[in-house]
Structure 1
């Protein structure tokens, strides 16, 4: 079974890894142009506005994009799936409109809190349309993921990102800082259009879905979604509070350095997590009632993820100065120490990642709320303290300490609440990976980052050898 699962995971990762790479390439071009034409202030404004959008969107969507995947994937027949899909779409429109109204109503307050004046009220009001578009888009992606239509989902993602970039580029060049909000709207519109265009075909319900059915059937995933929304809203709010605090204390350039480093660490490295989650989450949800299968899947996923992460982490540590210069420019060199130190946190994130999905697979909303809220508050406190002590570089320390704490929280839930356990050899493997990563960070800081290129190549070859063995088990 290990080989079969590995084959499915690697196939999904190959598909969505390619998609994420293209999206990242489009994003690199986008951020590079923003950095060149708009400067650190433009990067900072994008971070501030996108944080506001994510915060309001998280509150308005009630976790629909995640809870509905679980609901769709677990349906026994095509008719049941068609009915749930119709309900999901209706809830997406309702919640999208609610979020747009919420964003428009809170625009004056957001402008005063973030910038100290009401000068950006119209900008925040314009972002209300983005909330609606993202709600419809998220529901469309959740439907495709729940149905297993991964190729359609991949096409929608690539076309949306590509066209969104093409539409945005002229805005950056001709409008300067005034293009920030219109380009965000245009990008959201492009992604939403192609998600709908590549949506599933031939899905019909036997009868029109009534309002009572929308409420009764939607309640099953909305209740879980409310817990998820509360947790995600707290996390996004803590992130927004920190960005706003950093903007007041250090200025928009410091926000730009932070956003640059955080994007490399959390988004570009996160393509591995995102690619695997597309297949891992629905698969885990289908076996949530079996303790043994959960334990096997989690252990297998963690081993596979660490094999993929370690070479990537070493390459990022070795090439961090060059990556920042390529993605942004030399003015963003202050983000390099943040990226380098945070690589230890990336390894810890991989360990916690595999166990944390068990909470969602079981639909344990209360536990999810508790763990994520505690993590978000701790993350905010660590960010503020470490920035005060060490500046932008201290945020890398904060990122690592944050995920160390998160591993402890999630491991307690996984082992004590769900009575699961990790194999001893896997724990040793994860510990060794973390120690080697910390050693690489020290070497990069004391000697030279380029000194790690040879170990990175060797670890990559060893990881490929291990993955090949897993696939050979599948063939056997």
Structure 2
């Protein structure tokens, strides 16, 4: 548990993740100012396609590689593992990129509800972007697995910074807009990420070790695939679900409505996910290495309280100052997104805590539960979104679909954690969650008029958020003592 005391590692990791988050915010700001809601909708959907393909190629993201490297006891074993993982990931990435290139037209029709030649060409360019994204994700996973936080932070930050510079140049010099421009910007982003990651990996100790052949190689490959395939399906289900959701929204209400929804989703789920990614670089290896039920309990509770603290501070700030934040980070054209921001803030608090408890499934390598739980969560979400679009087709109804599905998942993972570790108690987390979200429910139900931003009522909610943060911090200190 001493890793929690290594503040320099935590700060370096957070600097990379949140520096990248800031650059992504700026990129959305440029696109919003330049192209409006439709541009943001298209930008987000392109990004979602790349993310889905990257998760598929890397067998669930960075976790499989990070855990595999963390479990190896020496550099020889690590180099064997890297050789196996890189070949599998590279081959899968190449196959997915070729598939996108070949089936660009039906993919465009499905994801963008369009067969415009420029849109098809942009999707075809995404095949190259996927290759660069997969390479960048692999390099970041290796840097994380080796605990090379300085190079990891540089790699995470450099790509989004290049994206902002390129988009800014297009906007400043009034380059004639084409959908391909957004895709080329992504290509530069992920290409720079990969180059920085490769630079970091080149600094590792050199070895003349050759990969073992025959049955040992196959055994290592099977070991990697056994759990990685489960994490891939679980992680891919979430990404594909969001791809489907955006496609349905675009098909039912158009790119502009999708852009408004994406503002609320990005300011809540997207950036909380980045925060959780930063926490994951410390939390997952610690939880995996915990040797007793009491150590696991303390690790889970510490992380849960810190994540809840961060979510409360951010969500209450967003809920109270939603219009100024939207004007600052996007533009006045996106004011309608404020209708869903408070609702998604409730959902994201559930999501943050459920991530902490759900990581126990990863740490214990319970592949079956991981697969069933994630597929179940996203199936429930998709059903609720479909009903919402058919019955109501409003931003608010979409937000409540996220709230209900994430609440169901939170109940499940808390009960799973209790089943695996009887030392963990419901009363250690549920009262804090209920107190955290109750003011947000009241704000949405009773005080959602935008003119109240300048009144005394929002300040009362902000004070409630600060008090809740103090309560959570006090709970953390008691556990950490």
C-alpha separation between the residues in 2 aligned to 1:206 and 1:471?
Answer: 48
C-alpha separation between the residues in 1 aligned to 2:426 and 2:380?
Answer: 29
Q: How does 1:70-81 map to 2 (within 5 A)?
A: 70-81=67-78
C-alpha separation between the residues in 2 aligned to 1:344 and 1:122?
Answer: 39
Structure 1, unpaired ranges of 5+:
none
C-alpha separation between the residues in 2 aligned to 1:15 and 1:44?
Answer: 32
CA contact (8 A) 2:362 2:370 kept: yes
Q: Name the stretch that deviates more: 198-207 or 340-349.
A: 198-207
Instruction: Show CA shifts across 1:185-213 (max 9, x none).
Output: 22221222112122362333452115545
Structure 2, unpaired ranges of 5+:
none
Alignment partner of 2:64: what SS? helix
Pick one of 305, 318, 321 that aligns with 2:320: 318
Q: 1:221 — aligned with what?
A: 224
- Structure 2 residue 386 is matched with structure 1 residue 380: no
Q: 1:156 — aligned with what?
A: 155
- Structure 2 residue 357 is matched with structure 1 residue 355: yes
Instruction: Show CA shifts across 1:216-249 (max 9, x none).
Output: 3232222211112222233222222221121111
CA contact (8 A) 1:19 1:154 kept: yes
Q: 1:344 — aligned with what?
A: 346
Q: 1:377 to 1:6 in 2, by over 3 A?
A: same
The alpha carbon displacement at 1:464 in A equals 6.4
C-alpha separation between the residues in 2 aligned to 1:302 and 1:384?
Answer: 31
Q: How does 1:103-118 map to 2 (within 5 A)?
A: 103-114=100-111, 115-117=113-115
- Structure 2 residue 455 is matched with structure 1 residue 456: no
C-alpha separation between the residues in 1 aligned to 2:295 and 2:82?
Answer: 28
Q: How does 1:64-75 map to 2 (within 5 A)?
A: 65-75=62-72
Alignment partner of 1:373: what SS? helix
Q: Name the stretch that deviates more: 372-381 or 291-300.
A: 291-300
C-alpha separation between the residues in 2 aligned to 1:392 and 1:64?
Answer: 29
Alignment partner of 2:321: what SS? helix
The alpha carbon displacement at 1:350 in A equals 2.0
Q: How does 1:14-33 map to 2 (within 5 A)?
A: 14-33=11-30
Q: 1:265 to 1:459 in 2, by over 3 A?
A: closer
Q: Name the stretch that deviates more: 321-330 or 177-186.
A: 177-186
Pick one of 80, 86, 90 that aligns with 2:87: 90
Alignment partner of 2:178: what SS? helix
CA contact (8 A) 1:89 1:136 kept: no
Instruction: Show CA shifts across 1:286-332 (max 9, x none).
Output: 22x63332222112211222222222221111111111111111111
Alignment partner of 2:73: what SS? coil
Q: Name the stretch that deviates more: 219-228 or 414-423.
A: 414-423
Q: 1:242 — aligned with what?
A: 245
Q: Name the stretch that deviates more: 114-123 or 140-149.
A: 114-123
Instruction: Show CA shifts across 1:153-199 (max 9, x none).
Output: 11221222212322333345413133122222222212221121223
Alignment partner of 2:425: what SS? coil
Instruction: Show CA shifts across 1:96-138 (max 9, x none).
Output: 2222122222212202323343633322221111111111111
Pick one of 256, 259, 263 that aligns with 1:256: 259
C-alpha separation between the residues in 1 aligned to 2:351 and 2:64?
Answer: 22
Q: Please provide the CA RMSD for this pair.
A: 2.7
Aligned residue pair count: 471
Q: How does 1:122-161 map to 2 (within 5 A)?
A: 122-161=121-160
Alignment partner of 1:382: what SS? helix
C-alpha separation between the residues in 2 aligned to 1:81 and 1:205?
Answer: 11
C-alpha separation between the residues in 2 aligned to 1:271 and 1:444?
Answer: 30
Q: Name the stretch that deviates more: 314-323 or 168-177.
A: 168-177
Q: 1:175 — aligned with what?
A: 176
Q: Name the stretch that deviates more: 455-464 or 344-353.
A: 455-464
CA contact (8 A) 1:23 1:158 kept: yes
- Structure 2 residue 333 is matched with structure 1 residue 335: no
| TM, length-normalised to structure 1 | 0.90
Q: 1:438 — aligned with what?
A: 441
Alignment partner of 1:160: what SS? helix
The alpha carbon displacement at 1:462 in A equals 7.2
Q: Name the stretch that deviates more: 461-470 or 66-75.
A: 461-470
| TM, length-normalised to structure 2 | 0.89
C-alpha separation between the residues in 2 aligned to 1:50 and 1:123?
Answer: 12
Instruction: Show CA shifts across 1:27-74 (max 9, x none).
Output: 222111111222222112112222222222222332252111111112
